[in-house]
Amino acid sequence: MSPSFSNAPDPIALHVLAKPDMDRWLQEQPEPIRSWVATNGFTGALGEALLVPASDGTTLMALAGFGTKAKRDRVRFALAAAAERLPEGDYRLAGFPEDMNLLKECLGWLMTAYRFDRYKKGGSKSARLVAPDGVDADRVVAMAAAEQLTRDLINTPASDMGPDALEEATRSLAAEFGATIETITGDTLLDHNLPMIHAVGRAADRLPRLVDLRWGQSGPTLTLVGKGVCFDTGGLDLKPANAMALMKKDMGGAANVLGLARMIMTLKLPLQLRVLIPAVENSVSGNAFRPGDILTSRKGLTVEVNNTDAEGRLVLADALSLAAEETPDLMISMATLTGAARVAVGPDLAPFFTDDEAVANALIAAAPKAADPVWRLPFHEPYEVKIEPDLADLDNAPAGGFAGAITAALFLRRFAGEGRYVHFDIYGWQPVKAPGRSKGGLGQGPRALLIALPDLLGL
């Protein structure tokens, strides 16, 4: 079911109460309410929820604890913590702290309803929220729907989310919004000079492909490139079992750019959008690409393969080269690319790289508004030598292990052309359930990008 606000005619009045405001609020209430609140131990702590009955036994109002600022700073969606504990019903905000970010908290509320139920039906029903005055309801719903799409794609196991299924998901999105789509598949990739996408994906039974979506006829040009490695065994440099367990999420970059594309098309932003997804499986068979192979990329640069488990940058390189041939006004790549990025910032932050200060500043300013934290990492020029081996132009897996996220980003930058470019190295996964964020697939970066786009593209 698509996320939405409630249109119920008689919703329950919900008071959102920060813990420091409780005494003042209670003093304004009649004795029966004060007594009920005290009896039930409601203190306004983060995540508390309480229904207050009227004298006839019906529900008079509901209370949601908003906690203290220190506690709120530790969660992404503070109101969602209480929303998840409210019984099923329809609610309207009757009062809330002045500093509450309505867009962020309403988004968190809508995302409490998310369930990945493709394989296991059921689950608890959710409290529903009436869109409060002053919030851009269309934008909140668009954000929640994009997050749902991203989570569903990542959560689907590789048995049902191979390159063919990822293409079909993109086709479905294109059909919904009147976008055009083209796909280059299998050996035809060689005919179209996309050799590294072919090399990485040729060992799998499900054919590698490049999916190319276009939408919009006028305005500035934006190209999104998403890593679509639908499962990553590591190739001949086989991953150990514990490292392979979550590799269904290695198409998280593609899932995230599709989420961003959905928001852009839903909100009808006045731009020309292109989405490129190199969709492959990194599998093991007799024709798999090998350690020590030297590949020639679309751009003509040669790449020495020193680890077949560093395959994502190879497929992205060809897609970025293709995208750069049109010199878009802004190009963004998103990928679950390196473990080094997780070591650097953990699973909760989306690190990004750009040489453009205006782009970086716009993203940093936009991120808190949409509860989509990002962190800038550097294209550190002295590390360029690390990606330059003796036998080829580039090395896909520099020895030593240091600065892995940066060297991967520097590798991609070699293929991104001369225009404005941003690269996101995301995790795409919520390891532990949190308010508004179920365990599993996760959007990281698209909401910050959506809010920053008007500044970045002059919309």
Query: CB of 281 within 8 A of CB of 158?
Result: yes
b/e 274-305 (16+ beta carbons within 10 angstroms → b): bbbbbbbbbbeeeebbeeebebebbbebebbb
Query: CB of 80 within 8 A of CB of 107?
Result: no
SS3 222: strand
Tokens of 203: 């060992």
Active-site choice (92, 239, 369, 376) = 239
Show the DSSP H helices in 5-118 as ranges.
22-27, 31-39, 69-72, 78-83, 102-111
| Active-site annotation holds for 369 | no
| Active-site annotation holds for 313 | yes
User: How many of the other CB atoms lie within 10 Å of CB of 25?
Assistant: 17
Helices 357-366 and 446-457: crossing angle, nearest 10°?
A: 130
Q: Residues 226, 231, 234, CA angle at the centre, nearest 5°?
A: 105
User: Phi, psi at residue 268, to the nearest 5°?
Assistant: 55, 50
Q: What is the CA radius of gyration of the chain?
A: 24
Q: Measured between alpha carbons, how far is 327 from 220 in angstroms, rounded to an integer?
A: 11
Active-site choice (249, 274, 313, 386) = 313
Residues with catalytic annotation? 239, 313
